[in-house]
Structure 1
Amino acid sequence: MARVVVIGAGMGGLSAAARLGALRHEVTVCEQAPVVGGKLGRFERDGFAFDTGPSLLTLPAVYRDTFFKTGAPLEDVLDLVPVDPAFHYRFADGTEVDVPNASRSGVRAALDSALGNGAGGDWEAFLDVAHRIWQATRGPFLESPLERGDLVRLSRRVGDLRTIAPWRSLRGLGRRHLRDPRLRMLLDRYATYTGSDPRRAPAALAVVPYVEQAFGAWYVPGGLRRLGDALHERALATGAAVRTGADVAEVLVEGGRVAGVRLADGERVPADVVVANADASHLYADLLRGPEARRELRRLRRATPSLSGFVLLLALRGRTPGLAHHTVLFPERYDAEFDAVFGGHPADDPTVYVSAPDDPALRPDDEHEAWFVLVNAPRHEPGAGTDWDSPGLADAYADRVLALMAERGLDVRDRVLWREVRTPADLERETRSPGGSIYGTSSNGPRAAFLRPANRSPVPGLFLVGGSAHPGGGLPLVGLSAAIVAELVGKA
């Protein structure tokens, strides 16, 4: 049995704590914020409630495995309900399409009806390619630790190398298989799931739409935040101690391996193992001293940081007929958005994403709605890019987003009771994610996966979980990172 300190009570940290607690390790979680959950946040006011992080769960098998291996099954703790349609898309030319949940035949029919020109067949053929990529990457990479030399190992598996095609971008894969430009735009959006640019992100990201459509899009009544609460309770049930307001200031190293952590108030918490659910850049720049940290930081700086997000939480009077759970409003020129965001500037005409669950638990009564509105945004970088704390910028951009929604058929400006604006600067303050990057580093470039920090750090006894570490961001991959680390700790 080892003494384990987990830095951060995000989904990766809580998953790791529950798994390690179930393996009878002595686990203490130190979270700097007053609440747990990390980016899986929640905001409540006047009877309205909003998830401020993910709005759907894909690949629920990851969390089913977590709960099964730590106690009662997930379905004994939470209800999971399918989101159908999974998404409603509106394009600049006025075309609209509802994409059914977990139905290849339904998706094919919907795309053929809305886009014509054999669009459904093209998408189905693309999914066949994505399935082969999933088969090639799932076990060896997504469910396994990424170690030095794995790029060489991949290159020796010629069949898998041809399938994954690391030299091809997601945009290039779309052009190869999808004739309709609107269908390619739909595919491009999945690059933003990892904070990336589809023109530079690898074709391997085709697994994202494949997983969503093969295993379904799911929601937890009451909000996705309830998944985080359930995971917190599970960690406690396994014996883990979860301390909020416990700000870790340093990872302690003695005799060449970790010895615990020092909190901001000076308290030392001894440990044989430290699991960092902090952003990897924050870990290696601020919490860890020594040459190993400097080397890892140099590697991280060779990667492109992920994009961030600009959020509006809207409390609305009245109801919207026919409103889907998820609505995506595309611009006319998607590339202009990526040029702006990765160039460090807010896009003038961004894609607008609306999450509006028809969930009575999120509104004061049936005469109101709670909307979470998100647009891709550049990181908070005062002096080098966008300073989101500049006076008036956030409110002006919020007005711009509402105006764009109106232009694209969702005008709610006269229904707004109040709005809460959240910028990348706010995300940085709340989660210690540098610049408010949602996923640490992006997947831009063919070597991006190998620049992402490994789960086993160069310092013995120090491990990384969460969206900034291997295998990446998003609820499923964060859960997989915890499973990987739990196994590594057992072998340490």
Structure 2
Amino acid sequence: MARVVVVGAGVGGLATAARLAATGHRVTVVERSGVVGGKLGRYTRTTPEGTFHFDTGPSLLTLPQVFADLFAATGGPAGGLDLGGLLDPVPLDPIVRHTFADGTKLDSCADPDTFAGRIAAALGPTAADDWRRLWRRAGRVWDASWRDILRRSVDSPLALAPLAWRLRDLAAIAPGTTLRGLGRRHLRDPRLRVLLDRYATYTGADPRRAPAALVAVPYAELAFGGWYLRGGLGTLADALLSRCLDLGVEVRTGETVTGIDAAGGRVHRVRLAGVSAPLPADVVVANVDAQTVYRDLLPSPRRLAGLADRSLAGFVLLLGVRGDSELAHHNVFFPADYDAEFDAVFGDPGRGVPARPAADPTVFVTVAADPAVRPDGHEAWFVLVNAPRQARSLSGVDWRRPGLADAYADRVLDVLAARGVDVRDRVLFREVRTPADLAGATAAPGGAIYGTAGSLLRPANRGPVQGLFLVGGSAHPGGGLPMVALSAQIVAAEIGPA
């Protein structure tokens, strides 16, 4: 039985802790915040009209079977989408309602034939035929990724060698091609290209630089469906915490890990702020950003140099809104010039062009038709736009600058109004969350949503010293709830049973 210390009580940390405890290890989770969940955050606001509940992180659950498998492996019933008996998943249709700059609307769904029919009705039969061809290719990329990448450790490019023996898979993945290039090759309608480009932002990337293999992201969402959890996705953190406690995991919140001791090439203990005695450990699982691990907890300049800083952050408004807006659960309102948004958000530091908030951003609005999260006659809106990271340099923006956050919040509401959704006179309250706030709450460097490693190959799950492992969105296989849960599965298998 190993003494395991998990640093961070995000989804990856809790999932790993549950899997390891279920196989006999003694597990302690240490979390700097006063609550668990990490980026799966929540915010509650009580007003005279009633109480509003917001998810401040992910709002869509994909590949729910990954979590069903997790709960089954840690003591729950096998099969189906029971999700530990603690959660109530609801399939969404539409998964996302896309509104393009010309006013055209397109609802995505989990049935490929139905979605192709909706594309034909909204954009024409040629666009639908193009999408079907891209869909077949995306399916090949997904199958190869699921078989060879997503469920096993990938420590180096050599670990991808099995793909080279399957030339059809290799051709579909198209190494060296960007997601933007793939869209231009397969999709003639510019609106479908914009729809495909958006999936690069699921990994914090620019579609003009993101690898074409990310076409597997829309395939996973649209082939297996998008789901909502009644009461909000934050209930997933509650369920994972409950499972950990049932298995005897010790969860310590409000304590900050300041370092990992690894003399002699293996971990021995972790150091805690304000605590003189370190916490002994045979195994340390770091559920914090890889940049934080290799910069602060276990300094490793060589590994730190390989991490990318060009990763999206997000600017968020939490709105209490009077009345019924008749929106879908998830809504995306695209600008006329998508490239101008990426030019602004990423800037070009090499040429001296600073990053800046986009003047005309894509606006993502989540409105859950769930009476558990808002009073009658009102809506709880989560509004997200892509934003530069928090940084006092050309690569980011200092979101703490007085007046900036409120001014940009006004701008986002003006943009929504210009696109036909004007709620400025119906806003009961608003709460603004900037990349600086996310960085402070979760220790995500710069407030990067999906981790700082924004490339296809993320840092390995096995660290550079014996007994150190990485889970979470910045480690393999990447960001997003199901990928984070798969990283926990990989790490638990690498550590093995007690």
Tell me whether the two structures share a fold, i.e. TM-score over 0.5.
Answer: yes
Q: Does structure 1 residue 219 correspond to structure 2 residue 214?
A: no
What is the CA deviation profile of residues 342-380 of structure 1, one whole-angstrom value per residue up to 9, with x for unaligned ones? Answer: 11211111100000010001112x211100000000100
Q: Among 228, 239, 244, which residue is 1:235 paired with? A: 244
Q: Does structure 1 residue 306 correspond to structure 2 residue 314?
A: no
Q: Does structure 1 residue 54 correspond to structure 2 residue 58?
A: yes
Report the secondary structure of 1:328's partner residue: strand
User: Which residue does the alignment assign to 1:478?
Assistant: 484
User: Which residue does the alignment assign to 2:207?
Assistant: 198
Q: Among 485, 488, 491, which residue is 2:494 paired with? A: 488
Task: Give the C-alpha shift of residue 106 in structure 1.
Answer: 1.1
Q: Does structure 1 residue 245 correspond to structure 2 residue 254?
A: yes
Task: Give the C-alpha shift of residue 205 in structure 1.
Answer: 0.4
User: Which residue does the alignment assign to 2:338?
Assistant: 334
Task: Give the C-alpha shift of residue 115 in structure 1.
Answer: 0.8
Amino acid of the structure 2 residue aligned with 1:282: T
Distance of 2:15 and 2:159 partners within structure 1: 28
Report the secondary structure of 2:446's partner residue: helix
CA contact (8 A) 2:84 2:239 kept: no
User: Which residue does the alignment assign to 2:301?
Assistant: 294
Identity rate, percent = 60
Task: Give the C-alpha shift of residue 37 in structure 1.
Answer: 0.2
Task: Give the C-alpha shift of residue 252 in structure 1.
Answer: 1.1
User: Which residue does the alignment assign to 1:20?
Assistant: 20
Q: Does structure 1 residue 377 correspond to structure 2 residue 387?
A: yes
Q: Relative to structure 2, which stretch is displaced further, 246-255 or 31-40?
A: 246-255
Cα distance, 1:396–1:275 mapped onto 2, change above 3 Å? same
Distance of 2:322 and 2:211 partners within structure 1: 43
CA contact (8 A) 1:196 1:442 kept: no
Task: Give the C-alpha shift of residue 491 in structure 1.
Answer: 8.0
What is the CA deviation profile of residues 389-416 of structure 1, one whole-angstrom value per residue up to 9, with x for unaligned ones? Answer: 0000000000000000000011000001
Q: Does structure 1 residue 137 correspond to structure 2 residue 156?
A: no
Task: Give the C-alpha shift of residue 117 in structure 1.
Answer: 4.1
Task: Give the C-alpha shift of residue 177 in structure 1.
Answer: 1.2
TM superposition score normalised by structure 2: 0.94
> What number of residue pairs does the alignment pair up?
479
Report the secondary structure of 1:487's partner residue: helix
Q: Among 438, 449, 464, which residue is 2:449 paired with? A: 438
Amino acid of the structure 2 residue aligned with 1:113: A
User: Which residue does the alignment assign to 1:173?
Assistant: 182
Amino acid of the structure 1 residue aligned with 2:265: G
Q: Among 324, 344, 347, which residue is 2:328 paired with? A: 324
Q: Does structure 1 residue 65 correspond to structure 2 residue 87?
A: no
Alignment of 1:35-46 (within 5 A): 35-46=35-46
User: Which residue does the alignment assign to 2:468?
Assistant: 462
Task: Give the C-alpha shift of residue 195 in structure 1.
Answer: 0.5
Distance of 2:481 and 2:337 partners within structure 1: 29
Distance of 2:345 and 2:162 partners within structure 1: 32
Q: Relative to structure 2, which stretch is displaced further, 172-181 or 37-46?
A: 172-181
User: Which residue does the alignment assign to 2:378?
Assistant: 368
CA contact (8 A) 1:336 1:347 kept: yes
Amino acid of the structure 1 residue aligned with 2:492: A
Q: Does structure 1 residue 124 correspond to structure 2 residue 124?
A: no
Task: Give the C-alpha shift of residue 441 in structure 1.
Answer: 2.8
Runs of 4+ in 1 over 6 A off after TM superposition: none
Distance of 1:111 and 1:426 partners within structure 2: 38
Distance of 1:399 and 1:152 partners within structure 2: 47
CA contact (8 A) 2:364 2:385 kept: yes
Structure 1 unaligned segments of length 5 or more: list them: none
CA contact (8 A) 1:136 1:163 kept: no
Distance of 1:29 and 1:484 partners within structure 2: 18
Distance of 2:214 and 2:120 partners within structure 1: 24
CA contact (8 A) 1:170 1:205 kept: yes
CA contact (8 A) 2:416 2:422 kept: yes
Amino acid of the structure 2 residue aligned with 1:285: R
Task: Give the C-alpha shift of residue 263 in structure 1.
Answer: 0.3
Task: Give the C-alpha shift of residue 158 in structure 1.
Answer: 4.9
Cα distance, 1:459–1:491 mapped onto 2, change above 3 Å? farther
Report the secondary structure of 1:255's partner residue: helix
Report the secondary structure of 2:320's partner residue: strand
What is the CA deviation profile of residues 146-168 of structure 1, one whole-angstrom value per residue up to 9, with x for unaligned ones? Answer: 11352672574251322211111
Q: Relative to structure 2, which stretch is displaced further, 208-217 or 133-142?
A: 133-142
Distance of 1:152 and 1:51 partners within structure 2: 36
What is the CA deviation profile of residues 80-122 of structure 1, one whole-angstrom value per residue up to 9, with x for unaligned ones? Answer: 11011111111111111222x2111110111111111422222
Report the secondary structure of 1:118's partner residue: helix
Task: Give the C-alpha shift of residue 139 in structure 1.
Answer: 2.1
Q: Among 408, 419, 424, which residue is 1:413 paired with? A: 424
User: Which residue does the alignment assign to 2:278?
Assistant: 268
Task: Give the C-alpha shift of residue 228 in structure 1.
Answer: 1.1
What is the CA deviation profile of residues 192-227 of structure 1, one whole-angstrom value per residue up to 9, with x for unaligned ones? Answer: 000011111011101111011110000100000001
Task: Give the C-alpha shift of residue 295 in structure 1.
Answer: 1.3
Q: Among 407, 415, 424, which residue is 1:396 paired with? A: 407
Distance of 2:437 and 2:210 partners within structure 1: 27
For the aligned residue pairs, the C-alpha RMSD in angstroms reads 1.4
Distance of 2:156 and 2:117 partners within structure 1: 45
Distance of 2:242 and 2:412 partners within structure 1: 38
Report the secondary structure of 2:401's partner residue: coil
Distance of 1:442 and 1:164 partners within structure 2: 20
Q: Among 350, 358, 377, which residue is 1:347 paired with? A: 358
CA contact (8 A) 2:60 2:227 kept: yes
CA contact (8 A) 1:305 1:440 kept: no
Q: Does structure 1 residue 281 correspond to structure 2 residue 291?
A: yes
User: Which residue does the alignment assign to 1:104?
Assistant: 112
Amino acid of the structure 1 residue aligned with 2:218: P
Amino acid of the structure 2 residue aligned with 1:3: R
Cα distance, 1:401–1:363 mapped onto 2, change above 3 Å? same
Amino acid of the structure 2 residue aligned with 1:414: D
User: Which residue does the alignment assign to 1:423?
Assistant: 434
Report the secondary structure of 2:386's partner residue: strand
Report the secondary structure of 1:142's partner residue: coil
Cα distance, 1:467–1:199 mapped onto 2, change above 3 Å? same
